A and B are shown apart, each in its own frame.
Chain A
Amino acid sequence: MSNVFHMPSLGADMEAGTLIEWTKQPGEPLKKGDTIAVIETQKGAIEVEVFHDAVMGRPLIDIGEKVPVGAPMAELEPLEPDTPSARPAETRAPGKAATVAGRQGEQQTSEARPQPSTASEAAAPAPQSQAPEPTAAAERHRASPAARRLAEQRGVELTAIEGTGPGGAVTLADVKAASGQPQPAPQQKPKPNSKRTQGKPDLAAMRQAIAAAMSRSKREIPHYYLAHDIDLTSAADWLTRRNAERPPDKRLLLGVLFIKAVALTLRDFQELNGFDRDGRFEAAEAIHVGTATAIRGGGLVAPAIHDADQLHLDALMARLRDLVARVRRGGLKASELSDPTVTVSSLGERGVDRLYGVIYPPQVAIIGFGSPRTRPWVVDGDVQPRSVVTATLAADHRHSDGHRGALFLARLAARLQEPDAL
């Protein structure tokens, strides 16, 4: 029996993707983690990976075709029966043969394609879709009648919209947010992007995606905000000394110290590292730090650095370099975009003093770093010029309280006093 590879969700703000190319041909064997296709999304050209070993089967959509999240893209054939790895993979993911990556599977389904099995979902009496195409995603899709009408008028696929109503139902506001002004150009053109434009995100579409995700965040998440000034002098001095001995390709940026310090501190603050699932908190099993990276020309993405708490600073720096380079050139992977468990946003040297983050749903916290500055600071009773950064925490008050949030920032500050231990 063949399985089906679906258009993955790369986060709460993704509605649909356009197939740019198949990187595997029918009959080719696939290993878990192999890139199977490149899709164009609001975040640029993204490589999508298979979840388990299989054999590439029949493609179900054409190059250039734009399909909603969850739509079937290709058939996957099981490996030969005598291949030991074929069986376990199938039993582990029944009915959901392929997804972007192991870590991301659960997040994908419960976030972008609400499962009707959860309690609150079942309680929401949203009407069933009457979409002409009875795909799995369409059958499950819920929307208010007004939303359904508007979606029809504007030619927007309901299945392509992230619902924010009860149980994930699509509301009128969602359709408006998703369709923007009537007949938005980016939604309408199913053109295959040429190699030349690959990796360059459609900025109008990205703007819409950010708008949808951030509106949902501000509508649903009761943020609380904390800020803490942290003396960075010892960390900055340590970094200067360290970098002075190294060639440019071995140098570190302060931002890497921030990411590592956050990741280590999060080990003791589970309630800040995970996801909101219909109002319940689900702690993440690992610490994948989404690193907000501005895109030249506008917009941003926050690809994950996986297991950031376990990476040596040099390895972390290499990962960050690689991520930034791929944000610029294209080539981000689906798993990187879909599975951050928390976000860190650093303004760098040329920003302002403080950054108040907006949580990226379904995450529950975002840590911001303003630009480090030389400020007057009292040390042992004397005022001294010190390098100081303001760290902020925006967190979901449904799942944590200011007391713990404050402890988190205080511990973070303490960690940054001992850069050798990072």
Chain B
Amino acid sequence: MKKKKWLPYLFVAPYLLHFLVFVAFPVLFSLVLTFHKWNIISPMEFTGLDNYTRMFRDKMFWKTIGNTIQFLLVHIPLQLIVALALAEFLNQNIKLKGFYRAAFFLPVIVSGVVVTILWQQLFGFDSGLFNRLLTNMGMDKVGWLIDPDIAMNSIAIMATWKNVGLYVILFLVGLQTVPPHYYEAADIEGATHWQKFRHITLPMINPTIFMVVILSTIGGFSLFIEPYVMTGGGPLNSTLSSVLYIYKQAFQYYHMGYSATLGFFFAFLILTVVMLQKRFIETEEVD
């Protein structure tokens, strides 16, 4: 019995060590950094709340949050509609289901770097595939990545293409939890397809919708590699995401303290948004 006393601690020791080094210390250190000015090579300089006041006046930082919101406003509805539609189709007892599912899922597993390099070509202005298709159909070229009003939407479309396969699967799981006799009952009452979808399917898969919204939100808030590779944050900073901006502050200008401040605040913002979403969707469910 003596042995048993320390053994569990041995089992969790690697985790605790890891937690201290890579979670607890960083969080505390980050908090300390937010009150300092530090470019890594010179000594740290205490600056009180300067970083915070600077953040509230930093128009660029707020623009990055606006950009993120713009991304989410396109990405989330698109993702929900496409994923739900494809899942609904797949759920109708069709042949080659495995093939379709595998095809939709392919972009999910491939590195974001691959997807961005590929779509950068598809979005090309002069000879990109999309613009060639448009000109062949006699339409004007679109500045997918070079028009400041469009670029973020283009990235949102690409991100949807990359992730939607995962959500198709999640919705499919959700759809299969709907008991078939609900539909049978509705059929007897002569309900249309849309009515069945609206009044049976949607309420039943509400938890899945909630999950998809949360996951997409978190994913959208960590948008980095897509603008980093495709646009560098341009044109006119229209695709500058908050994470890219935080990265630039730290690793291009070496404003470690300021970057930590932005990171801290941004993390706080994410938690708040996710919590609000949770609250909102839960009250919806109660209704």
- A and B co-occur in one complex: no
